[in-house]
Structure 1
Amino acid sequence: MAELAALWIVRHGESTANVAASAAERSGAELIDLTHRDADVPLSATGEEQARATARWLAGLPEQQRPDVAVVSPYLRAVRTSELALAGTGVPASRDERLRDRELGILDGLTGHGVARRFPDEAARRQRLGKFYYRPPGGESWTDVALRLRALLGDLRRDHEGRRVLLFGHDALVFLLRYLVEGLTEAELMGLTREHVIANCSVTGWSADADGRLTLDTFNDIRHLRQQGARPTEEDEVHAEPV
């Protein structure tokens, strides 16, 4: 199979919904205080700072290591992250709806406490089926997202063989790209989700080995934020480490 020279995915910078969700979970609220539909959630001021720090990191890469092309989730928080991060680089960027965040259906806008209180049957069904296969009514399972990412990877390999591709997306996509690129099992993938929280503007990347296969170089890495003087969120400081 044709392969890429390198592949990265950057999670979007901190969004206003990330801030609201953290506050709602800490307070025990059932609903997250959201003022936008998911596709239109903007970056917070911290998120914009993180994206600019990512731009400085990209600018500091040797030319032969910089991405040739970028593909971006159409959701505003990812688009804005890409605009700030790619400013002045000349890297061409396109949007692809297959990089959108996982759709939560009737559970959208609810905290974990809210799901348990308002949809106890769904909470029980999720517990029985497991995180990987559970599909909320009107939403997507992790396997649904994996299917669209699998199709995207096939197109990237065909259209950009031998090139370096940078993706901008969402936390679940980072985990699922590891699942697809590295051939992980369900158990291995779920183990990663229990051990790691994907940090805002973290970098996960793979490069082609001597046999042309993509191998993991870095996972959930936010060293560039610290080095460029940007502020990771408190949760990111605790959980995000280079691997």
Structure 2
Amino acid sequence: MPRRYPLHLWVVRHGESSGNVARDAAHAAGAARIDIPERDVDVPLSTLGHRQGDALGRWFASLPEAERPELALASPYRRAVETAEAIRAAGGLAPDAPALLVDERLREKEFGILDRLTRIGIEQLHPEQADLRRDLGKFYHRPPGGESWCDVVLRLRSALDTVALHHDGRRILIVAHQVVVLCLRYLLEEMTEAEILAVDAEGDVANCGVTEYVFSPDAGPDGGLALIRYNFVAPLEVQGTPVTSETDADAVAQ
């Protein structure tokens, strides 16, 4: 059978989180560890992050009803769920959109023993991991107890199969994390390791930045999803909301 695809797909990184703010503070202080009281899964949006989610929701709400997302899927991490909820609260989904679907396969990359360490902390506490990461590259390096980008890609293949099976021909919004956004690009655009790392090297995915695809019958023998825009932040700028692209608290380990 031909592969099935969403009619329209938006992939959004969550709004600025308190972890983003804590990471910047740790780097400014030259600290080895990032001071976050919660588990990574429980890190909430910052005040600005809530504003960013609301601004993006108002942008989606400005679209005709027949062009808004019909369904929202999100990582189970609090910052992603809060972003998706802010988009809905601002009227950004179709009126008959069902409740948010939380899918653990969309979760943040897991960092294992490098969790909450700054670059300085990794060099001081786990120099062997710093060396290994330099040798293998971020795509293949898996810290003990954590994941490589390849591990993230593996679970995202499964998530995309579920979308194809249950939600083909629909308009889908996914709210997740920076590495998830990049790994979805790698999958949907059939990139190589070098190609996706070149995209990553250009800069961080902005908080509430939009990556957008539409189905095209010309994208492959059975059609496929064609990239319309990547890291699109005009919805925030139009609403006068500051654009941020701070990496997450564990971003050094990414």
Distance in 1, Cα, partners of 2:72 & 2:244: 25
Letter in 1 for 2:20: N
Letter in 1 for 2:73: V
With normalisation by structure 2, the TM-score equals: 0.90
* Corresponding position: 1:228 with 2:235: no
Distance in 1, Cα, partners of 2:28 & 2:5: 44
The match for 2:159 is 152
Query: How far apart are 1:235 and its partner, in Å?
Result: 5.5
Secondary structure (helix, strand or coil) at the match of 1:133 reads: coil
With normalisation by structure 1, the TM-score equals: 0.94
Letter in 2 for 1:225: L
Identity of aligned residues (%): 49
Distance in 2, Cα, partners of 1:57 & 1:221: 12
1:3-82 to 2 correspondences below 5 Å = 3-82=5-84
Where structure 2 has 5 or more consecutive residues not aligned to the other structure, the ranges are 248-254
Distance in 2, Cα, partners of 1:163 & 1:145: 24
1:1-243 to 2 correspondences below 5 Å = 1-87=3-89, 88=91, 89=93, 90=95, 91-92=97-98, 93-211=100-218, 212-233=223-244
Distance in 1, Cα, partners of 2:113 & 2:126: 9
Spell out, residue by residue over 1:79-133, the C-alpha distance to the aligned partner (whole angstroms, 9 max, x if none): 1111111124432221000011000000000011110111000100111111100
Query: How far apart are 1:161 and its partner, in Å?
Result: 1.0
Secondary structure (helix, strand or coil) at the match of 2:129 reads: helix
Query: How far apart are 1:227 and its partner, in Å?
Result: 0.2
Contact kept in structure 1, 2:13 and 2:176, CA below 8 Å: yes
Spell out, residue by residue over 1:29-52, the C-alpha distance to the aligned partner (whole angstroms, 9 max, x if none): 111111110010011000000011
Name the CA shift for 1:234/1:187 in 2 (closer, same or farther; >3 Å): closer
Matched residue pairs, number?
236
Name the CA shift for 1:39/1:235 in 2 (closer, same or farther; >3 Å): closer
Query: How far apart are 1:234 and its partner, in Å?
Result: 7.3
